[in-house]
Amino acid sequence: MSFNDYLKSKEFTAKTIASIEGLAERFLEWAKKENIEPRQVRYQDLLLWMKHCQQRGVVQRTVQTYVYGVKNYYDYLIERKEIVINPVANIQVHGVKRKTLYHILRPEELHALYNHYPSNTLAEKRNKVVLGLMAYQGLKVEELIRLVVADVKLKTGQIEIAGSRTGNARTLQLEPHQVMDMYEYVKETREEILKKTQEQTEKLFVAFRSGRFFGNLIQCVLNELRKKNKIVKDAKQIRASVIVKWLKQYNLRQAQYLAGHRYISSTEAYQQNEMEGLSEEVNKFHPLG
């Protein structure tokens, strides 16, 4: 498999593939000039290369792009079993804004939030089902909005998430206690809401009045959760907590599939939530700090 074929298998666009190939080629040219064997590159060599980029006037964010391109090249070598460890995997570029680090909710905290959510009214029963898909399947708000009834497979206890421009399609297993609540919602609660509104729609989640309502629904859920746990911040925090849980349970590729990430780097970004910061060595010796 060529490097180009490897990148195509990752579903990169043609433009991105050309960019990554160009970045890797420039790095290999630099390594050749420095008499560095690419397959034996050391952490110190990479720092030297990054310092070389900086001296040429390359800004931090662009260096981060360079690092990402080279990382893909070494992922390719791992795929070909030419190397075992990606030397670029833990390289961090200082001075670049990163993903927000959230306080991660433990699995038992997520379960408690779901288990104690009220389900007395029709709206509460609907909202609890929404919460379940956030707390156990890690769905994004936009994915929840796009769901239709046909996506729910009650017989197998699964839910299908359609792919989009920013996420991959996937089939996720519902927790056993979720299936009962989902069944009641689809067969009874949802039908009662539709009778009150006299609307016809295939959307899974419906409102008591026409118009956009999902933003208010999510805010209502979050407000209720904060009564039980003041640490709850927003929907993204809940999703991050689920992905971090998956990273502990499964390998990186499996977690990537469950999260629906198009690129494995998106999944890797959640690993920093398990870190207390960069290592002392990186903080001390990083050339771009």
Looking at residue 216, what is its pLDDT? 87
Tokens of 215: 């933003």
Per the prediction, the chain carries an average pLDDT of: 86
Q: In what helix (H) or strand (E) does residue 152 lie, and over which residues does it extend?
A: strand 152-153
Give all domains of the chain, ordered by start, each with its CATH number: 3-97 (1.10.150.130), 107-245 (1.10.443.10)
Residue numbers in the chain where pLDDT is lower than 70: 92-102, 210-212, 272-289
Looking at residue 274, what is its pLDDT? 52
Looking at residue 271, what is its pLDDT? 72
Looking at residue 282, what is its pLDDT? 34
Looking at residue 188, what is its pLDDT? 97
User: What DSSP letter does each residue of 203-247 carry, written as one string?
Assistant: BSS--SSSS--HHHHHHHHHHHHHHH-TT---HHHHHHHHHHHHH
In Å, how far are 17, 168, 208, 243, 286 from 11, measured between CA atoms? 9, 10, 40, 21, 32
Separation of alpha carbons 156 and 31, rounded Å: 53
Using the CB atoms, write b or e for 221-231: b if 16+ within 10 Å.
bbebbeeeeee
Looking at residue 158, what is its pLDDT? 97
Look at phi and psi of residue 122 and say left if phi exceeds 0, alpha if psi is from -120 to 50, else beta.
Answer: alpha
Q: Which residues pair with 158 in a beta bridge?
A: 153, 173
Looking at residue 236, what is its pLDDT? 92
First to last CA, the chain: 37
The closest of 91, 83, 100, 102 to 37, measured between CA atoms, is: 83
Cβ-Cβ contacts under 8 Å for 204 (sequence gap 6 or more): 147, 148, 149, 151, 152, 186, 190
Q: Which residues pair with 167 in a beta bridge?
A: 261
Task: State how beta strands 152-153 and 170-173 pair.
Answer: unpaired
